[in-house]
Structure 1
Amino acid sequence: MTSLSTATPPDLSGRNLSKRRAFANRTATILIGLCVLIAALPLVLVVWEVLSRGSSAMGLDFLVEEIPRNYREAGPGMGPAILGTLTITGMAALIAIPIGVLGAVYLNEYGKNRPLAKFIRTMADVMTGVPSIVMGLFIYVSYVIVIGEKNGFGGALALACLMLPIVIRSAEEMLRLVPDELRQASAGLGARKWRTTMTVVLPTASSGITSGALLAVARAAGETAPIIVTVGLTYMFKPDLFYGENTTLAAQIYRNATQPFDASQERAWGAALTLIALVFLFTIVSRVISSRFAIDKR
């Protein structure tokens, strides 16, 4: 008969290990949540400050009326700056997005790991970290001084240089997500590589490419330094981007915020709120496009 004193005690190591894992999981979740709150706090404070200060200036007149020439004069508007922002940023997008997408196609579909492709990737990464004022000075030296005057097209070139590396890298990442089976199936049907790229690869990655391009546009729309250097500080909008100084919301924020008058300060906050709304709109559109045309991977 077996003695009770020699019975094997129950093994609690598995239960203790499970408790430790649960505790570690809860601790990590709490820490991650705190980090998210800390990271989001400055953004919330900025948005709240802009909303509280800029909402008083907002209205239909503020969006369509001319910019007052006198800094002391109260009242709207920012109509020319809104048009200038949309026009100059749109021209920059027309320059940067096609070049960026074609560059990404070369890197992912043709260049692969060739020396030229590696060099382009390195330069794109370097350009991503270059300050915007450096891009503005580059366009000022290579374009503005050559033609002898500041104009909207110079600002579009500066913004295009800022957008280009973002478009290249984001589009390349989207092209990498396209399954190779699709390329092989197209090649098996006798399609050439360029036709496979145009009719299979690009349509499949179109949602991600569009989303990345719109995010690049949103980033460029808020740049101030290159606009001031290449476009100038004026209160008028000129539809002809190749003639004379122009204006944008970012330039008007700087122009009015540097003045001590209450009227100009109010216009600066209103312009900041308008710019944030435009950037938010671009971001929402990119998310909608990305979710609407995303590939169902289930």
Structure 2
Amino acid sequence: MGIIDLHCDVLYKLWLAEGKLSFADSPELDTNKQRLLEGGVKVQSFAIFTPPSLKAEHRFQAALDQIYYFQTEVLAKNPEMKQIKDWSDFDKLQDGEVGAMLTLEGVEPIGNDLKKLQLFYELGVRAVGLTWNYANLAADGADEPRNGGLSLFGREVVKFHNEHKILTDVSHLCEGSFWDVIELAKYPVASHSNARALLDHQRNLRDEQAKALFEKGGTLHVVYCTWFINDQETVTIPDLIKHIDHFCSLGGVRNIGLGSDFDGINTKIVGLEHAGVSYNLINELLKHYSEEEVRGFAGENFLRNRPS
């Protein structure tokens, strides 16, 4: 069963390294090509992330630079990597190929200019989170205490997503923004989130949020970041599976997916340190769930619920 991983930050690492790392096999990259193939990852989403330390006027260029590295280092040098720009492209992947889909983690690079979002769409971005953790011109993020929801511009962004069949990612939103997105978005998704009932962290989703996402036909992709799993020094694969168990108890067995956050996390689950050992999670899941259910978690739930 091929794994669909809806979030990693390898483009950010390639950008920081200014092209001095090889996507093919650099060990510094959790999500290099060699490890994707070894780990049975069939589709990897590649997030474009511009850090909050970057001045606003430099963020658009930084995003374009990351797309440059995606095109030159990920795609051009590795013929096994196939860009996904249409939702039907998932069905066209051949044995030995890995799909690569661009996503945008926070709309800071577009400022208040939808023309820039149109450009990102033309370049292949197919999922967009309105914020990272802080507030911007579109929405309040998970770390914004005012919990203000979407702005008028943010609502225009979601409307653009609906018209272009772009996923609207809720993973970094505050609760007010989340509920605005659930009301407005045709294609909501949580690319890398866990259960707040198990760990009370602002980046995790409450039960009522998860159920609303399921009811809207969205998928919720559990994240491997130990900070969002529990507060123990050592975190294991069964600890992550507890979050899957909880979401299943809420009726989400056909809406759960995977979103590793590799290359964006500094602490790792024991046995799940990089993409090359992704199947350790699959094998552990098979001890608790049917093969059909695990195929769903691995990727088929996402394929069933994707835009058509």
Shared fold, TM over 0.5: no
Q: Which protein has the bigger helix share?
A: 1
Q: TM-score, normalised by structure 1?
A: 0.24
Higher relative contact order structure (alpha carbons within 8 Å, sequence separation ≥ 6): 1
Q: Which has the larger radius of gyration?
A: 1
TM-score, normalising length: structure 2: 0.24
